[in-house]
């Protein structure tokens, strides 16, 4: 007889990103689970004519948000990625999507809420310099894990950088998976009887199942896309100052950028055009308002706004 564990279910998960007041935010759901969850629901082949429409249905049901453009991120299918499988539940394969939008108010009667991306991946935020937690919390744990193992030591150095190896902001998934393998993140200990609370104090807020892995995958994808697609403009109003544009890029990239180099990149690259209007009430001199110049998509094959390591300042 077929057991419940032999059943395969298809889950639809959404990484919904906004940037508000310089904070990169993701939409989370509290659905009676132990930790925050991404918006998620099962694909119903009778109710949902397509997988993407199934995703939109669940996001609307759980948060009240109507999605615009979405792109498929990755398919996640590891055994026990849903912890309920260990107690006889079905194996769950997830098709995850990424979407960008403006943060909006959420219905009070639902359990959806916005949370800071770096609450879950705090080692990825370098806007105020190298995070102290890397040396104070992560390095000691990783050093114990990699002791007397040259390959592990090289992986730690490659992922978290050193004097000889620069930090690569796009290797977000590799870093999270290294921390998971080393037993540093709470998700790695949750089903093994380890000290989950201690792990959470060392390596950030855990999420339900492998949703933090999905989040790390999305952050790496988004940081990579900043180099060759003008996706950042999905997070901005129709008109904006160059400083606001820079702050949104910094929020996603997790680092501060050189102001003049950044402005030179976006203006000389034809990414923006002035509107002839000024924004007042900024506390300083009025700043010119710009808008995204859509023609750049036809003029250049890779109109990005960010080149890691080329002009970022720490």
Per-residue model confidence as pLDDT tens digits over 31-57: 666 789 999 999 998 899 999 999 999
Give, as one character, the DSSP assignment of residue 90: P
Taking only the tens place, the pLDDT of each residue in 84-107 is: 888 888 899 999 999 999 999 999
Do 17 and 42 lie in a common domain? yes
Specify if 288 maps to a domain. Answer: yes
Where in the sequence is the domain holding 17, given as residue range(s)?
4-118
The CATH number given to whatever domain includes residue 22 is 3.90.79.10
pTM (whole model) above 0.95: no
Query: Over 50: is that where the pLDDT of 208 sits?
Result: yes
Closest Cα to residue 220, out of 266, 173, 262? 173
Give, as one character, the DSSP assignment of residue 25: E
Distance CA 36, CA 29 (A): 6
Do 159 and 54 lie in a common domain? no
Do 80 and 178 lie in a common domain? no
Per-residue pLDDT band for 76 (boundaries 50, 70, 90) equals very high
Other Cβ atoms less than 10 A from the Cβ of 10: the count is 17
Q: How many domains is the chain built from?
A: 3
Specify if 281 maps to a domain. Answer: yes
Distance CA 241, CA 223 (A): 21
Do 189 and 257 lie in a common domain? no
Q: What per-residue confidence (pLDDT) applies to 312?
A: 52
Q: What per-residue confidence (pLDDT) applies to 120?
A: 96
Buried b (16+ CB within 10 A) or exposed e, 172-206: bbbbbbbbbebebbbbbbbeeeeebeebbebbbbb
Specify if 196 maps to a domain. Answer: yes
- In the block, tokens 């979405």 appear at 70
The CATH number given to whatever domain includes residue 272 is 1.10.10.10
Do 16 and 84 lie in a common domain? yes
Do 113 and 156 lie in a common domain? no
Specify if 214 maps to a domain. Answer: no
Taking only the tens place, the pLDDT of each residue in 263-312 is: 988 888 899 999 999 987 666 788 899 999 989 988 888 888 866 555 55
- 85 versus 72: the higher-pLDDT residue is 72
Specify if 97 maps to a domain. Answer: yes
């Amino acid at each position: 007889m077929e057991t419940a564990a032999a059943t395969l279910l298809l889950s639809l998960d959404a990484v919904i990103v906004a940037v508000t007041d310089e904070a990169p935010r993701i939409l989370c759901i509290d659905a009676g689970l132990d930790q925050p969850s991404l918006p998620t629901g099962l694909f119903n082949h009778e109710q949902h004519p397509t997988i993407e429409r199934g995703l939109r249905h669940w996001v609307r049901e759980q948060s009240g948000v109507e999605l615009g453009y979405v792109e498929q991120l990755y398919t996640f299918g590891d055994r026990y990625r849903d912890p309920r499988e260990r107690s006889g539940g079905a194996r769950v394969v997830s098709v995850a999507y990424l979407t960008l939008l403006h943060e909006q108010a959420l219905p009070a009667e639902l359990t959806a809420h916005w949370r800071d991306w770096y609450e879950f991946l705090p080692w990825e935020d370098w806007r105020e310099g190298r995070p102290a937690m890397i040396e104070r919390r992560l390095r000691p744990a990783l050093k114990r894990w990699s002791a007397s193992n040259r390959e592990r030591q090289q992986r730690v150095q490659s992922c978290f950088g050193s004097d000889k190896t620069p930090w690569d902001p796009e290797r977000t998934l590799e870093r999270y998976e290294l921390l998971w393998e080393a037993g540093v993140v709470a998700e790695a200990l949750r089903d093994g009887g380890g000290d989950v609370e201690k792990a959470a104090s060392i390596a950030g807020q855990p999420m339900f199942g492998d949703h933090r892995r999905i989040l790390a995958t999305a952050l790496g994808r988004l940081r990579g896309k900043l180099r060759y697609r003008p996706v950042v403009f999905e997070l901005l109003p129709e008109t904006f100052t160059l400083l606001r544009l820079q702050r949104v890029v910094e929020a996603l990239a997790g680092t501060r950028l050189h102001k003049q180099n950044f402005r030179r990149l976006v203006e000389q690259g034809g990414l923006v055009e002035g509107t002839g209007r000024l924004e007042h009430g900024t506390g300083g001199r009025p700043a010119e308002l710009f808008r995204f110049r859509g023609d750049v998509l036809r003029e250049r094959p890779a109109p990005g706004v960010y080149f890691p390591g080329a002009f970022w300042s720490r």
